[in-house]
Amino acid sequence: MVAIVGFGSLLSEASARSTFGDGVHNFRLATVLDYRRVFAHPASIFFQRGIANLETKVQLINYHFAVDPMDVFDIPEELLPDFYEREEEFKIISAKFQELDGSAGGEVYLRHCLLAVKKLGQDVYDDFVATTYLGDRATSIKEYIEANPSIMLERPPPHLVDRYSG
């Protein structure tokens, strides 16, 4: 089996299955390390189907330390040649990814950062939550924790309690 990362339409399991049929196995969430999703390149098939706008494009580009949610699934290796032919306008690469198991790993880490910065003083904490943003670059940490106060109830796995508790 070969792992395929879905970062555009393949984020949809239905789309992945329409592309690879019954070959899709183990559909799961992941993040791709050192890459970032940006709007920059539509597939030609999107224009043929009338679902693309030349000014709105998607492409995965190299971007150090970015962590965008993606999906990953496995397909039999014999499906790769057809995939490469179908996606000939894309540069298909090998990229490291980290699976997400549905746990609140990001929230645990954010909680850790919030606890740590709180120890540095209220002014430092206030500045941190007001000037630090989620990956969308629009939502401040302050807005996020106001909308999701349960984040402070998240706990790291037992073997990481000492390291990730502020």
- Give the integer Cα–Cα distance in Å for 161 and 163: 6
- Give the integer Cα–Cα distance in Å for 78 and 58: 27
Structure confidence at residue 141 as a pLDDT band (50, 70, 90):
confident
pLDDT tens column, 99-111: 655 333 367 778 8
pLDDT tens column, 67-87: 455 678 889 999 999 888 887
Q: Does the model's pTM come out above 0.85?
A: no
DSSP category for residue 160: G
Query: In the predicted model, what is the mean pLDDT of residues 20-36?
Result: 80
| Residue 133 vs residue 143, higher pLDDT | 143
Half-sphere CA count of 92, side-chain side, radius 13 A: 15
Give pLDDT, residue 78.
94
Least confident segment among 45-49, 101-105, 149-153: 101-105
List the alpha helices (DSSP H) in the chain: 13-20, 44-48, 80-86, 105-118, 122-131, 141-147
